Amino acid sequence: MKIKITTKELKSDFAKEVKDRSGIDVKKCYQCGKCTAGCPVAYEMDYMPNQIIRFVQLGLKREALTSRTIWLCASCITCTTRCPKEVKIAELMDVLREMSLEEGLANPLEKNITTFHQAFLNSVKKHGRISELWMLNEYKMKRPKTALQDLIIGPQMLSKGKLSFLPHDIKGKDAVKRIFEKCK
């Protein structure tokens, strides 16, 4: 990889953009690597969590937003809890996911994850909570290759009453809807 820094390119300040959106100051990170060391899914990532922060520090927007790492992050918040400089790394991943979708840069290899997120949110938006069956329905329609995945546990869940055929709305459905409106 090659990083080129010229007077012109300096005008877009990615780190500042991230800070303005989320309040997370990546400049604080001194690259000790503790986040990476404790990350339970780091072994699957294309870039280590500390490298993602490094990308943001150096203004490497494309590298950060097209990475698989931001999608693989399970938001377990171990990194944030342990960071000596109190950088909110897991929250940073959230922001980067948002930005990645907005800019159409989401890594195609992680389409399953983005679709799942979308189906989850759609269900919450509609009913104020998720309806497992209908959410899965949407997800599997959009990602047909996953149609047979995990199907075997369906009957078990049904028999235990964990899946209902009809979605249940919550009482304050409108309030949830308003949250979605506000977040747009």
Partner 1 sequence: MGKKIGVFVCHCGTNISATVDVEKVAEETKKNNPGVSYTTTYKYMCSDPGQKLLRDKIKEEGLTGVVIAACSPKMHEHTFRNAAIKSGLNPYHVEISNIREQCSWVHPDKPVGTEKSTDLVRMMTEKVRKDKSLKPIKVHVTKRALIIGGGIAGIQAALDIADGGHEVIMVEREASIGGHMAQLSETFPTLDCSQCIMTPKMVEAAQHDNITMHTWSEIESITGYLGNFDVKIRKKARSVDLDLCTGCSSCWQVCPCKKIKSEFDMGLANRTAIYIPFPQAIPSKPVIDRENCILFKDARKKNIKPNDSKVCRKCIDACPIAPVKAIDYNQEDEIIDVKVGAIIVATGFRELEDGLYGEYGGGKYEDVITGMQFERLASASGPTDGKIKRPSDGKEPEIVVFIQCVGSRDPSKGCSYCSKTCCMYTAKHTMLYKHKVHHGHAFVFYIDIRCAGKGYEEFSQRAIEEEGATYLRGRVSRVYKKGDKLIVLGADTLTGSVVEIEADMVVLASAMKAQDDAEQFAQKLSIQYDKDKFFSEMHPKLKPVESSSAGIFLAGTCQGPKDIPETVAQAGAAASKVLALLSSDELEREPVVARVDRQLPPVFSTCIGCFYCQKVCPYSAIESEDIKARDGSVIKTVARVNEGLCQGCGLCAATCRSKSIELDGFNDEQIYAEINAVEFN
Using CB under 8 A as the criterion, which residues of the chain lie in contact with partner 1 when the complex forms?
Answer: 1-7, 10, 25, 27-28, 30-31, 50-51, 54-55, 57-58, 60, 63
Give min distance, CB of 38 to partner 1, in A. 18
Residue 58 or residue 101: which is nearer to partner 1 going by CB? Answer: 58
Shortest distance in whole angstroms from residue 51 CB to partner 1: 6
Q: Which is nearer to partner 1, 46 or 132 (CB)?
A: 46
Distance of closest approach, residue 159 Cβ to partner 1, in angstroms: 51
Structure tokens at 89: 């790394």
List the structure tokens of 144: 């047909």
Distance (Å, whole) CA 38 – CA 136: 31
CB closer to partner 1 out of 84 and 172: 84
Query: Can you say whether residue 112 is alpha, beta or left, with left for phi > 0 and alpha for psi between -120 and 50 degrees?
Result: alpha
User: In the numeric block, which tokens belong to residue 167?
Assistant: 């979605």
Between residues 37 and 163, which has the closer beta carbon with respect to partner 1? Answer: 37
Following DSSP, what letter does each residue of 113-167 receive, concatenated? HHHHHHHHHHHHHHHSS--HHHHHHHHHHHSGGGTTTTTTHHHHHHHTT---SS-
As measured in angstroms, the least distance from the Cβ of 7 to partner 1 is 5
Report the residue number, 55 or 71, with the smaller CB distance to partner 1: 55
CB of 46 to partner 1, least distance (A): 12
In the chain, the N- to C-terminal Cα span, in Å, equals 35
